[in-house]
Copies of this chain bind each other. A is one copy, B any other.
Amino acid sequence: MAAKSEQTRQLVADVALKMFREIGFEKTTMRAIAQEAGVSVGNAYYYFASKDELVQELYIQVQDEHAVVAAQALESVQDLAGRLKAVLHTGVDVMAPYHQFGSDFIATAIRPSSPVNPFGEASTAAREASLAIFRSAVDGSSPAVAKKLRGDLPELLWLAYMGVALFWVYDKSEGQRRTRKLIDGAAPLVARGLSLAKIPGVGKVFDDVLGLVRTVKEDS
């Protein structure tokens, strides 16, 4: 059985994620995880170099689930507003069990040195997967999105999604009702806003926004 090692790793990860969900980030100490999993502290560190890496495990799992659920939800919707709603709502859905954990997660994720940093190298795969969801939401929509927007839009929407996630973390309303409202309100607005790109004066501004985005992105 080559899986003995993998088994321990999974055990630690499972216990950690369960504890993150049930008692939060701070109360889930490495010692508690080890004890609950029946291993030594050092052994947990043999598989995960830091507590942050256990958070990364969670991040990846949540992203994977989002990809699956969102793809399914997208099957039955055509218009951009609806597709955007689908992606955002499913995103919130998969995060829901971890809401109380949210602020600690974001505090961890936001430091550039963290493996969970959504802009960082260590989560390139997760970010690409997430971006792919938005690309699919945009590309598959009908009526189609203006061609000049199609390239950059997914990335901008993903960025907006990060904003929604931030809002959700702070959202103390029951069941994060306000976040749902925000999504329901913002998605159609974004779609309508984009359709304004055809108006000459407005189109110019759009072009400049895209130009700025590209400039700032390139010049590293």
Contacts and interface: CB of A to CB of B under 8 A. Distances in A.
Given A199-B201, A201-B196, A219 B181 contact: yes
Interface in A161-216: 169-170, 172-173, 177-178, 181-182, 185-186, 189, 192-193, 196, 199, 201-202, 205, 208-209, 212, 215-216
A202 B108 CA distance: 39
Interface residues of A, number: 35
A196 B208 CA distance: 14
Interface stretch (A80-88, A111-119, A140-148): A111-119
A196 B202 contact: yes
Contacts of A119: 170
A107 interface: yes
B199 A212 contact: no
A111 B112 CA distance: 16
A181 B111 CA distance: 23
A53 interface: no
A110 interface: yes
B212 A186 contact: yes
A104 interface: yes
A106 interface: yes
B196 A212 contact: no
A193 B205 contact: yes
A107 B105 CA distance: 10
Interface of A: 103-104, 106-108, 110-113, 119, 169-170, 172-173, 177-178, 181-182, 185-186, 189, 192-193, 196, 199, 201-202, 205, 208-209, 212, 215-216, 219-220
3 nearest CB pairs, A to B: A185-B212, A103-B111, A107-B111
